[in-house]
């Protein structure tokens, strides 16, 4: 079992979570957090949904078309410094490692450090207004302090769904029918996961019509670093558990596995390989974390090389690497953590 030593940091405000009953969204509508689901839109917004023509998209395809001229834009919103909260040490390493991993997959990575909410809104809206016809997909990554349903910018708080609303199928037509992927590293509450100790002894309808429609919120995936209501952990030296696990899995399997399989491996890596180590603070000691993946994808997402086509039966070396990663015993994991001298904190 890997443990992380030192101070614990969480992506919240170090204060008890305040009840958020009525939160104003940028468009002025109200959203109820306690008994609401973050993807649910106000009734008038749902009624106003428009039909979108998706072009030449075969409804029976099992995989998204990832053979466009460009892979697409990847926006990283890296929040390190805040007006009234602690510095998110380690986030710079997360950003560098994630940019490297996404560069390898062919993305046009754009990094914004400590953006205000106004800047975030401008970046997202201007990106949504671009022509993505020749792009495979879109990625948006937000790393910040957070609460349930909310994220912090450098100067204010905003609803997490503000990240993807500009890119729904009825808002960004050139991305309709294409995968829109959102990765969020932030606390979603103040609960702590104590973990459970194990001892090792482990309907579809076809249509023949040529014309069809899709929901505006289809083809979106949101990967949260933790389950709703819980802390998300970050190491000031090594980076956050979730982003580091994501980078490792993208590097290992980004060319050979579909995205949901990769995210399952990310969940496993975070769940098994990480545990907080703060013996001087029992409240934060020996805690665990599990990412939460919300998928509205309708097909499999692969990231094939743009320049070469590798047959599925060719071993890219990831199997051997995977064996090496997952068959390390607890002694080796503890030694690795000790040598790296990580400083893990609730993010």
Q: Which residues are catalytic?
A: 145, 187
Q: Please, are residues 167 and 138 in contact by the beta-carbon 8 Å criterion?
A: yes
Alpha helices in the chain (DSSP H): 43-47, 91-104, 117-129, 241-253, 259-273, 318-326, 330-340
Residues 143 and 153: their CA atoms lie apart, in Å, by 10
Instruction: Using alpha carbons, list the distances in angstroms from residue 30 to 2, 37, 149, 159.
Output: 43, 13, 13, 11
Burial, 307: exposed, middle or buried (Cβ in 10 Å; 0-12, 13-18, 19+)?
A: exposed
Q: Is 247 helix (H, G, I), strand (E, B) or coil?
A: helix
Task: Report phi then psi at 12, rounded to 5.
Answer: -135, -160
- b/e code 259-290 from CB counts within 10 Å (16+ = b): beebbebbbebbbebbbbbbeeeeebbebbbb
From the list 145, 211, 129, 133, the residue with the least C-alpha distance to 176 is 133
Task: Report phi then psi at 200, rounded to 5.
Answer: -75, 120
Q: Please, are residues 90 and 239 in contact by the beta-carbon 8 Å criterion?
A: yes
Helices 241-253 and 318-326: angle between axes, nearest 10 degrees? 150
Task: Report phi then psi at 315, rounded to 5.
Answer: -80, 120
């Amino acid at each position: 079992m890997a443990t992380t030593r030192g101070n614990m940091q969480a992506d919240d405000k170090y204060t008890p979570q305040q009840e958020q009953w009525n939160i104003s969204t940028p468009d002025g509508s109200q959203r109820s957090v306690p008994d609401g689901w973050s993807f649910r839109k106000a009734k008038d917004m749902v009624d106003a949904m428009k039909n979108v023509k998706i072009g030449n998209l075969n409804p029976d395809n099992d995989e998204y078309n990832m053979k466009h001229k460009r892979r697409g834009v990847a926006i990283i919103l890296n929040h390190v410094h805040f007006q009234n909260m602690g510095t998110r040490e380690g986030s710079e390493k997360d950003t560098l490692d994630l940019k490297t991993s996404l560069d390898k997959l062919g993305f046009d990575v754009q990094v914004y450090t400590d953006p205000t909410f106004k800047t975030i809104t401008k970046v997202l809206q201007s990106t949504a207004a671009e022509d993505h016809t020749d792009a495979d997909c879109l990625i948006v990554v937000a790393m910040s302090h957070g609460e349930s349903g909310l994220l912090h910018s450098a100067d204010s708080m905003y609803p997490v769904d503000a990240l993807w609303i500009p890119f729904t199928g009825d808002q960004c037509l050139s991305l309709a029918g294409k995968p829109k992927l959102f990765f969020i590293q932030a606390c979603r509450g103040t609960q702590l996961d104590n973990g459970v100790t194990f001892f090792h002894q482990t309907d579809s309808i076809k249509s023949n019509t040529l014309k069809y429609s899709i929901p505006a919120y289809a083809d979106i995936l949101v990967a949260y670093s933790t389950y709703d209501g819980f802390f998300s952990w970050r190491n000031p030296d090594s980076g956050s558990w979730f982003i580091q696990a994501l980078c490792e899995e993208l590097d290992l399997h980004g060319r050979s596995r579909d995205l949901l399989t990769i995210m399952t491996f990310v969940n496993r890596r975070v769940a098994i390989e990480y545990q907080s180590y703060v013996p001087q603070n029992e409240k934060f000691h020996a805690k665990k974390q599990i990412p939460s993946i919300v998928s509205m994808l309708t097909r499999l997402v692969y990231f094939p090389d743009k320049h070469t086509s590798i047959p599925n039966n060719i071993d890219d070396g990831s199997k051997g690497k995977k064996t090496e990663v997952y068959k390390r015993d607890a002694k080796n994991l503890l030694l690795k953590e000790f040598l790296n001298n990580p400083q893990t904190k609730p993010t």
